[in-house]
Amino acid sequence: MGKKVGAVYIGHEKVEFCVWAPFAESVEVHFEKSGKFEALIKDEKGYWFKEVQNIPPGATYKYRIDHKDEFPDPASLSQPQGVHSWSQVVDLKAHQWQDELWKGRKLSEMIIYELHVGTFTRAGTFEAVIDKLDHLEELGINTLELMPIAQFPGARNWGYDGVYPFAAQDSYGGVAGLKKLVDACHARGFSIILDVVYNHLGPEGNYISQYGPYFTDKYHTPWGSALNFDDEYSDQVRHHFKQNALMWLEDFHFDGLRLDAVHEIIDRGARHFLKELSEKTDELEAKTGRSYALIAESDLNDTKLIKDYESGGFGLEGQWVDDFHHALHTVLTGEDAGYYADFGKMEYLAKSFKQAFIYDGIYSPFRKRSIGNNPEGMEPSNFVVCIQNHDQVGNRLLGERMAELVSFDKLKLAAATLLSAPFVPMLFMGEEFGEKNRFQYFISHGDPDLVKAVQEGRKSEFKYFFHSHSDGEFPDPQAEATFKNSKLKWDFQKDVQQDQLFNFYKELIRLKKDGAFEMFGHQNTIFEASEGKNLLKVSAQEGNSALIGIYNFGKSVYSEKTSEKGNFEVLIASADKKWGGDMDVEELLKAESITVPPEAVLIYKS
């Protein structure tokens, strides 16, 4: 096993410096304030290290390689002057944690809320998120998921261009602000998960390859060179990123990690990096007595990620399911461009509601090959589903949210489909009140050539999302206005429908947490999909009790005779007057038939 990398503050102005640079002839630490150089010692694995005295927290430094070039620390904890400048010593033990009694929660209990720190609030900082916890608590959220916060170029970025995986973005508030946020979440009973990127590093400020073979030419990702997880010298690269993951969990008290695009973490070795990471996380659970959740994003629909070790799996707790989003989105909007061509059928929505994966080994016309495997035997709580997320909104050319694409009635129908399905639900910030400010792609790179490449790349990569109903021009990712226009407005209570939608979400989440929809996760649940009527009916029975959901995506009223007159309980009816509809639920209970208006949902127990 390798050494602990970075500048580890021991206390009493002592710092243990360590960096992996196997081919270097010499490595020195250069301190900005004093101008002094301190030569490090090399071990047999290529680590350069030394304990240095009289270095207080806040001291800034770089590494000089072979008496020539100087670079920031690839395991820097802080980059206060940006990605090209000096790294900073941080005392990770300076924060006095208040969450000793916190034990975390299982993925199966989570109601997740994905947010981008920079656009979630006007201030765009970790501490500003704390001010919105009242709102999230009222909504019923119990888990925050932060989009990546590893130091990136400039002050605005989605976070997937991070180049210092150990450093909390300085413009968000750095280490101190982040720890305050995590502590505040735990004090309120919130779990908090961090999105991390182990498939590539961003292009600007990426100096890690100057130290050694952190990348491999064997593979290529859509974003550049692949990280070296299975080539020569890969042991220390694997160690670097496992250390990073464990740091977020142990030193920053995060309750889990969302692992970005794991299909681009390319490792053909006998022990996959993700399995090793899962095993190390299990060891940390045993050490701390806390629960941690590792959630993978993958477009392969491969249950190997979440199967247990004994079954040959990687043992991760969960994975994102794009199929559910795509099935629901296409039925709601009618969009069929790009990968949406593989969806758009009610039978597919029914299949995804039942087992998460639609593509479970069947042929994909868009990809022109068979995709996925059968998720039979997997628990619903292994799958995280959504109707909006940063990718599916922000990777539209214009960044339109669902509220701009469909009617108010369809927003309620989508919310009820999400929250009554048996999986772990995830909301995207602002979804709960129908935010209409677009969430667009933004950067603040310093390299003009890189800026131009990103601008042109965005136009070509997502052109199939440019629909005639979308107004406005292509948003320039580099423009500050694109970033500012993506911020949430937070005045939703002034709008009657937005406030109704918020309260509708609140009620759905309450029902979800109370177990009102649990029967829909049973093996004997019956799914009836009608393509002609654009209708999905879900029925489950347990003893003398039945749970029935009628999801009417069509434009006609759906009606069916009932023998249950007055003998059933309406759990949620999106067309109810209190949610902005025209239905009188009291009258429905007396009627001879069950009626569901167009673009509405009715879920009841009998």
CA–CA separation, 6 vs 16, rounded Å? Answer: 8
Query: Last residue of a domain, which of 458, 484, 511?
Result: 511
* 159 in Cβ contact with 176 (< 8 Å): no
pLDDT (tens digit per residue) in 191-229: 999 999 999 999 999 999 999 999 999 999 999 889 999
In a domain, 340, yes or no: yes
What would the pLDDT profile of 473-516 be if each residue is shown by its tens digit? 789 999 999 999 999 999 999 999 999 999 999 999 999 999 99
Amino acid code (one letter) for 298: S
Residue type, 504: F
Q: Domain check: are 315 and 175 in the same one?
A: yes
Instruction: Report if residue 74 sits inside a domain.
Output: yes
In a domain, 584, yes or no: yes
Last residue of a domain, one of 48, 67, 88: 88
> Do 177 and 291 have their domain in common?
yes
> Do 80 and 169 have their domain in common?
no
Domain presence at residue 375 = yes
Q: Can you say how many angstroms the Cα of residue 17 is from the centroid of all Cα atoms in its chain? A: 32
Give the residues across from 8 on adjacent strands: 16, 90
pLDDT of residue 522: 93
Q: How far apart are CA 399 and CA 391, in angstroms?
A: 9
Element of type H or E holding 330: helix 322-333
Residues 422 and 568 in one domain: no
List the beta bridge partners of residue 293.
256
Going by the DSSP 8-state scheme, the letter that residue 601 receives in this structure is E
Judge whether 312 and 290 are in contact, CB under 8 Å. no
- CB-facing half-sphere around the CA of 415: CA atoms within 13 A: 32
Q: Which of 330, 530, 593, 352 is nearest to 602 (CA)?
A: 593
Least Cα distance to 65 among 21, 17, 8, 6 occurs for 21
Query: For residue 345, how many C-alpha atoms fall within 13 Å in the half-sphere facing its CB?
Result: 9
If one counts the domains in the chain, the total is: 3
58: domain range?
6-88
12 CB-near residues (< 8 Å, 6+ apart): none
198 shares a domain with 320: yes
Binding residues for substrate: 258-263, 322-326, 390-395
Class of residue 176 by CB neighbours under 10 A (exposed 0-12, middle 13-18, buried 19+): middle
What's the N-to-C CA distance of the chain in angstroms? 59
Distances (CA, A) of 261 to 197, 220, 379: 8, 14, 22
Q: Which residues are catalytic?
A: 260, 297
Domain shared by 34 and 144, yes or no: no
- pLDDT, tens digit (0-9, with 9 covering 90-100), for 35-88: 999 999 999 999 999 999 999 999 999 999 999 999 999 999 999 999 999 999
pLDDT of residue 114: 99
**Which residues, including other chains, have CB under 8 Å from residue 262's CB and lie 6 or more apart?**
198, 199, 274, 296, 297, 298, 305
* CATH number assigned to the domain comprising residue 34: 2.60.40.10
Extract the annotated binding site.
258-263, 322-326, 390-395
Amino acid at 359: Y
Does 42 share its domain with 169? Answer: no
State pLDDT tens for residues 2-23.
Answer: 799 999 999 999 999 999 999 9
Same domain, 431 and 495: yes
What is the C-alpha separation between 354 and 378, in angstroms, rounded?
12
**Which of 524, 596, 518 has the alpha carbon at shortest distance from 555?**
596
**What tokens were used for 536?**
């999905």
Q: Provide the CB-side half-sphere exposure for 431 (13 A, CA).
A: 28
> Residues 428, 570: one domain?
no
Q: Cα(310)–Cα(166) distance, rounded to whole angstroms?
A: 32
Residue 134 lies in a domain: no
CA atoms within 13 A on the CB side of 575: 23
Q: Do residues 436 and 403 touch, judged by C-beta distance below 8 A? A: yes
* H or E stretch at 181: helix 174-187
258: domain CATH number is 3.20.20.80
* Residues of the chain falling short of pLDDT 50: 466-470
How much is the pLDDT for 455?
87
Kindly give, in sequence order, each residue whose CB lies less than 8 Å from that of residue 560, ignoring residues fewer than 6 positions away.
Answer: 593, 594
Can you give the CATH number for the domain in which 573 is found? Answer: 2.60.40.1180
**Which residue in the block uniquely carries the two structure tokens 């990280």?**
227
Q: Hey, is 121 helix, strand or coil?
A: coil
| CB contact at 8 A, 19 and 8 | no
Write the DSSP assignment of 489-525 as a string of letters: ---GGGSHHHHHHHHHHHHHHHHHHTTTTGGGGSTT-
276: enclosing H helix or E strand: helix 273-288
- What is the number of residues in the chain? 606
- Residue at which a domain ends, from 511, 533, 550: 511
Asked if 505 and 535 sit in the same domain, the reply is no
CB contact at 8 A, 374 and 301: no
Q: Is residue 95 part of a domain?
A: no
Same domain (yes/no): 256, 149: yes
Looking at the domain assignment, is residue 388 inside a domain?
yes
26 and 166 fall within a common domain: no
Q: Which amino acid is at 148?
A: P
| Domain assignment of residue 150, yes or no | yes
Q: How many CB atoms lie within 10 A of CB 193?
A: 25
